[in-house]
Amino acid sequence: MKMSHNKITNKRLRVAIVSTSLPRQCGIATFSNSLSKALDMEMGTYTCSIIAMNSPSVKLDYPPKVVCQIDKDRREDYDNAAKFINKSDVDIVSVQHEFGIFGGPSGSNIVELLGRLKKPVITTLHTILPNPSELEKKTLIEIAAFSRYLVVMSRKAFSILEEAYSIPLDKVRLIYHGNSDVSFIDPVFYKYKLKLTERKVILTYGFVSPGKGLEIMIKAMKYVVKEHPDTLYIILGVTHPEVKSHSGEEYRESLVELTKKLKLEGNVIFHDDFVDDQTLTDYLGAADVMVCPYHGEAQISSGVLSSAIGMGKAVVSTPFLFARDVLENGVGVLVNFRDHIGMAEAVKELLGDEKKKINLGKKAYESSREMTWDKVAKQYATLFEQTIDETYKKLSSDRYPIVLPEVNLDYLCFLTDDTSILHHAHYGVPNRHCGYSTDDAARALTVSSEYFYLFDDEEAINLIKKYLSFLQYSQREDGWFHNIVNYKGEFEDEKGTEDTLGRCIWGLGSLCQISLNLEAQKLAKQLLENSSHLILSLKSPRALAYCGMGLHGYIQNNRSAENERNMLFAIADRLIEHFIDTSKEDWVWFEESLTYDNARLPQVLLLANKHGAREETLEIGLTSLDFLTSTQYKEGYFDIIGNEGWHYKDSQGASFGQQPIDAAALVQTYMLAHMTSNNDKYINLALSAFQWFLGRNRFSTSLYDPKTGACADGIDAHGISKNKGSESTLSFLMALLTMYNWEIRDKYKYRDKVSS
């Protein structure tokens, strides 16, 4: 079975977008809405939130995605927003910058916010002035200083930032304005829909303001209609709210008067609407020619122009910066600023030459395929990940990633057949001669249960049922479990080891723990209870620890389980007795040696502490964990104790035969220790232990293959093992899901707890 991977399993980044927001009628708001939607699709549901910039006295009914608001003229709002972001679980801040949407001289109030943020910032520049005033220059330089990177939407922006603002170009990244991914459709389809089949259509859309140069195109229409009297010029859009607040409808009325003066009432129409996406698509689709007669050269981005080329429109535009960039090489036609004669000639030529118009539209469409919102979102996501990695690299060496790999269950599914998970794989090929082990099925039940709990992927239920069915098959009438099962399904042992029993209790408890009403949980509870009478008869400290972890899971979803809680406390007491009997000043551990899966012993003490075990449980849990750290953490990486000799008191530990199960145990125990003690050193150690899988080890080589989802069996004297069995891959997934659990669920709780 191959798992389907929903977007929710992608890297979990939380992005706060500082911008205007819909329903405010604003181009930046529209951009932010589109980017937010695309990022949500790219990185998983609800990854983006918006800090909305408001104009004074304007009250808007924002969607839930808007989590904080800033009155652009209230300085204290910027300070409060910074506090809000710093306290939240936001990973990175994306500022959408346009001078006019922020308060203060030249929009300088935004600097107040940026200067107080403790999260990394990337600022997207929607306007870059080639000849700024001193205050505009100062504001942009300060914004750049507080931003890890600046995003621009035109190649022309690089030279302006370097020459006019002296901003180093290694701080600047190019990501074009996005456009919708729509099919290339003949305008006749949309004209029929809008009842315009008898007209040649020219379109300008967006906010109406003096800078749009609409009077230039209206003047040009006087010459266009002489050759093409059936031409209709549609001006689609409302007056810009800022213009309207200062000058009312003065500019629009002047355009109407100009239309009457030139006797173009039948050829120029105004649609005074802020239209939805579908209506815009209809009008844009119906256009034969899109015109952008703008006056200002400094415009470095344009959602209007991006949408036009994205739908394969023939475009005639003045040479503002963004247009010069995206319309070069014959993608569109450029006409000088304020040149209505040149505009008329360019439009007439296209309306009179159908082949040229179609070819120009096709070139535009082809050039825009890398600018669709899904591709733009991927570029932003990559930059966000890079920025977070660079910002928090103090937690680890530059060589090792901080952003988590995607959860890839392909190899787990590859190893799993209709019976259970196969035990061994040589060179990544399952070895059916080795059959199955109940140990692995129990681990796989733990992993698939945690995966389903985190990502709610229904296909994980099929895995859960397979592994649970195998445990049911392997359980004897007396509660013990067989461990070795051949490929024919025959038991090859009388009964499994104590560890096998412990791992089965752990796996069953993991399924009981998830707070979902699955029928399979009833069977897991029954199987666990069938074996629970054996738990306190066990001698092995690790077997007891595994049982304790399963009991913890059982108790989590059965709060009245006093018998199981008392058994967990009894396990903790037994381990404490081992610790007291064995510990010396230079050897603070439970046994005379360190062997495999060592961190499970302090882990179960920390779990027992959560349920109210005696006071020394926490102290001994952390003390023993710190001792374990001292034996393996060397020179910034974990050199895990190997199985080729282990580590005995008064001897040096074995370096080879390092096993993934030990790294996974460390990751889970350090994360638990962090949540228990609020000590940041443990989360740093958890990260380091996780990165052991990814190359932070003595050979600086990754054991994990993200393409296949397979993990090598360990580190030997010759290097990384070529075999990739079930235990190692399950161990990696266990560690990865622990990190995701922190990212998705626990980090916010922890921060909220600390901040309060």
Q: What is the mean pLDDT of residues 2-16?
A: 54
Any residues with CB less than 8 A from the CB of 504 and at least 6 apart, and which? 438, 442, 471, 474, 475, 481, 527, 531, 550
Q: What is the 3-state secondary structure (H, E, C) of 606-665?
A: HHHHHCCCCCHHHHHHHHHHHHHHHHHEECCEECCCCCCCCEECCCCCCCCCECHHHHHH
Confidence of residue 517 (pLDDT cuts 50, 70, 90): low
pLDDT at residue 343, as a whole number: 96
pLDDT at residue 287, as a whole number: 92
Q: What is the mean pLDDT of residues 707-734?
A: 94
What is the chain's length? 756
Q: Which residue has the tokens 């099962």?
A: 485
Q: Which residue has the tokens 């895995």?
A: 463
Domains of the chain by start residue, with CATH: 7-174 (3.40.50.2000), 187-370 (3.40.50.2000), 410-755 (1.50.10.10)
How do 719-720 and 715-716 pair as beta strands?
A: antiparallel
pLDDT at residue 746, as a whole number: 55
Q: What is the largest CA-CA distance in the chain?
A: 104
Residue 546 zone, left/alpha/beta (φ > 0; ψ -120 to 50; rest): alpha
Query: Residue 552's closest CA among 444, 467, 668, 687?
Result: 668
What is the C-alpha separation between 710 and 713, in angstroms, rounded?
Answer: 10
Q: Is the pLDDT of residue 684 over 90?
A: no
What is the four-CA torsion angle of 529, 532, 533, 534, rounded to 10 degrees? 140
Q: What is the mean pLDDT of residues 604-620?
A: 93
What is the C-alpha separation between 239 and 191, in angstroms, rounded?
Answer: 25
647-674 pLDDT, tens digit per residue, is 998 888 898 999 999 999 999 999 999 9
pLDDT at residue 405, as a whole number: 84
What is the C-alpha separation between 197 and 250, in angstroms, rounded?
Answer: 33
Top pLDDT among 136 and 57 is at 136
Q: Is the pLDDT of residue 112 over 60?
A: yes
Confidence of residue 390 (pLDDT cuts 50, 70, 90): confident
What is the C-alpha separation between 404 and 687, in angstroms, rounded?
Answer: 10
Query: Residue 222's closest CA among 267, 164, 276?
Result: 267
Q: What is the 3-state secondary structure (H, E, C) of 235-277?
A: EECCECHHHHHHHCCHHHHHHHHHHHHCCCCCCEEEECCCCCH
Q: Is the pLDDT of residue 150 over 70?
A: yes
What distance, in Å, lies between the first and last C-alpha atoms of the chain? 46
User: What would the two tokens of residue 497 be?
Assistant: 């080891």
| Residue 17 burial class via C-beta count within 10 angstroms: exposed 0-12, middle 13-18, buried 19 and up | buried
Q: How far is CA 14 from CA 22, 85, 113, 129, 748, in A?
A: 20, 11, 18, 31, 11
Q: Is the pLDDT of residue 447 over 80?
A: yes
The helix/strand/coil state of 123 is strand
User: What would the two tokens of residue 395 be?
Assistant: 């937690």
pLDDT at residue 422, as a whole number: 93
What is the C-alpha separation between 694 and 674, in angstroms, rounded?
Answer: 22
pLDDT at residue 514, as a whole number: 82
pLDDT at residue 500, as a whole number: 97
Q: Which residue has the tokens 């592994």?
A: 467
pLDDT at residue 204, as a whole number: 94
pLDDT at residue 743, as a whole number: 72
User: What would the two tokens of residue 756 be?
Assistant: 């309060």
DSSP, res 604: H
pLDDT at residue 270, as a whole number: 94
329-386 pLDDT, tens digit per residue, is 888 999 999 999 999 999 999 999 999 998 998 998 888 788 888 899 999 999 998 8
Contact 92, 17 (CB under 8 A): no
The helix/strand/coil state of 202 is strand
pLDDT at residue 516, as a whole number: 62
Q: Is the pLDDT of residue 10 over 50?
A: no
pLDDT at residue 292, as a whole number: 93
Contact 167, 150 (CB under 8 A): yes
The helix/strand/coil state of 435 is strand
Percent of the chain with pLDDT over 70: 93
Which of 21-35, 235-249, 739-753 has the lowest average pLDDT?
Answer: 739-753
Confidence of residue 241 (pLDDT cuts 50, 70, 90): confident
Contact 52, 66 (CB under 8 A): yes
pLDDT, the chain, mean: 88
Q: What is the pTM of this model?
A: 0.55
Query: Residue 423's closest CA among 466, 483, 498, 471?
Result: 483
pLDDT at residue 399, as a whole number: 42
Q: Which residue has the tokens 């936001």?
A: 90
Q: In 327-459, which ranges are continuous DSSP H helix?
A: 340-352, 354-367, 373-391, 410-415, 438-455
pLDDT at residue 393, as a whole number: 55
Q: What is the mean pLDDT of residues 433-445?
A: 95
Q: How far is CA 6 from CA 156, 263, 409, 444, in A?
A: 38, 58, 12, 20
pLDDT at residue 392, as a whole number: 61
What is the C-alpha separation between 93 and 108, in angstroms, rounded?
Answer: 18
The helix/strand/coil state of 117 is coil
pLDDT at residue 257, as a whole number: 96
What is the C-alpha separation between 40 and 47, in angstroms, rounded?
Answer: 6
Q: What is the mean pLDDT of residues 722-739?
A: 95
Q: In 392-493, which ranges are continuous DSSP H helix?
A: 410-415, 438-455, 460-474
Q: Is the pLDDT of residue 120 over 80?
A: yes
